[in-house]
Structure 1
Amino acid sequence: MEATNQSNHAMKLYSHPMSSCSRRVRLGLEFKGLKYECINITSAGDPELLKINPMGYVPALMDGTTVVSDSFAILLYLEEKYPQHALLPKDLMRKSINYQAASIVSSSIQPLQNLVLVNYIGELVSPDEKLPWAQYHIRKGFVALEKLLGNYAGTYATGDEIYLADLYLAPQLDNGINRFKLDMTEFPLLLKLSKTYNETPSFRQILTETLQQHTDKNVLDFIKQQEA
């Protein structure tokens, strides 16, 4: 039987609307139809978050007595415990493409555009270098993703079903296009996927929340905290 979480056992997700790492987990929870309480952290030193994740990073998930932090670890945990709406295809090659796409976003793009590092570059070199720095590293990752997905994309990143790669791509494309104003001319596939995500209700709901936050300078200041 498929595992389900009951109403008296709703999970808690410590999150923030502008955290791309949190958003990919929220998407995973939504697609699996899992009930959860979303707790938006408003301070990098929030004592409630520090109790369950001493690193003070979002996202962090509490599922009963189980605590999991780091978005990749959380999504793999959810995939094993709650198999409904699989986040990974059965085909081994397509599964590997999902892992690779997720890794490019989480390891080669997101840490280098994290505002902690971007602001440090501004302080170390010049404020004028902040945007070029972020755009350079996002573009480098997008070049790899455009090639990687070329032979596998359908309606979504690796076919006509939503999988792990899509959960990583949707928030990252939102960041690249809307927050960091990257020129997407050379990425027709990624641009097509971005349009699809924005037309898919579950993606649109979470991405729209983020777009609303982009105009809030206080939120931009807050997101200086780390995420994983």
Structure 2
Amino acid sequence: MEATTSATSIIQQPPTLKLYSYFKSSCSFRVRFALHLKGLDYEYKAVNLLKGEQFSPEFLDVNPIGYVPALVDGDLLVSDSFAILLYLEEKYPQHPLLPTNLQEKAVHYQAANIVGSGIQPLQNLAILRYIGGKVGEDEKIPWVQQHIGKGFAALEKLLRGYAGKFATGDEIFLADLFIAPQIHAATTRFNIDMTRYPTLSRLYESYNELPAFHASLPENQPDAPK
């Protein structure tokens, strides 16, 4: 694929950027969102988690822990969405993912960790399969709803006094990249009632106005069922 540039681009996108992704993965969604916001072209490398392709020898050579996403940039490999986002921020500074204000930056780190550590790992495929097998299939959704609710309540408190159109004002930054996919999963997969979270609901309306968000949605990925 040819590299894309814009008048505001600082570094030209190399033709070797590859993203190993699964369309439903909210971790991959975060990175796709960032790539589109930064205007970076990339090759999509689908890894089907339902078929166990993440455990294939080929993919374990890419990421030995067997998780998506993983990003290849030339001869450099970066795995884990948080690490990828920080790498993209340092190498490709167009459309910054972090504010310059230190207090706001701390809010973004906290919000990202609430989602990345306190919500998303507790709803991933391996956890749900374990709960279904050890506890019961009918306990999977209540489990997820409990942990999403706890995390969303924390985000509501954290962002109070900071949120504008986006998490800390009218520019989209790191926390938004974590929050947007999590709300999408919460509403489309886990039947979360968002009326309890007015700040997050307002943010989600803003995300829906962005072409980069729509380009990153699960249903718009090459490996999504047609």
Tell whether the structures are fold-level matches, with TM greater than 0.5: yes
The CA deviation at 1:77 is 0.6
2:151 paired with 1:149:
no
Distance 1:84 1:175, change over 3 A: same
Q: Retained in 2: the 8 A contact 1:198–1:207?
A: no
Report the AA paired with residue 89 of structure 2: E
2:51 paired with 1:37:
no
Distance 1:208 1:41, change over 3 A: closer
User: 2 CA distance for matches of 1:30 and 1:172?
Assistant: 18
Q: Retained in 1: the 8 A contact 2:46–2:223?
A: no
Structure 2: state its 5+ residue gaps. 1-8
| Higher mean displacement: 25-34 or 48-57 | 48-57
Q: Which position in structure 2 is the counterpart of 1:5?
A: 13
2:34 paired with 1:24:
no
Q: Which position in structure 1 is the counterpart of 2:5?
A: none
Matches within 5 A, 1:132-211: 132-207=142-217, 209=219
User: 1 CA distance for matches of 2:215 and 2:169?
Assistant: 22
Report the AA paired with residue 155 of structure 2: L
Query: What is the count of residue pairs matched by the alignment?
Result: 214
**Percent identity at matched positions?**
56
Q: Retained in 2: the 8 A contact 1:14–1:59?
A: yes
Q: Retained in 1: the 8 A contact 2:89–2:97?
A: yes
The CA deviation at 1:41 is 1.1
Q: Retained in 2: the 8 A contact 1:15–1:58?
A: yes
Distance 1:106 1:122, change over 3 A: same
Structure 1: state its 5+ residue gaps. 217-228
Distance 1:149 1:29, change over 3 A: same
2:118 paired with 1:118:
no
Q: Which position in structure 2 is the counterpart of 1:94?
A: 104
Distance 1:212 1:38, change over 3 A: closer
SS in structure 2 of the partner of residue 14 of structure 1: strand
The CA deviation at 1:213 is 8.5
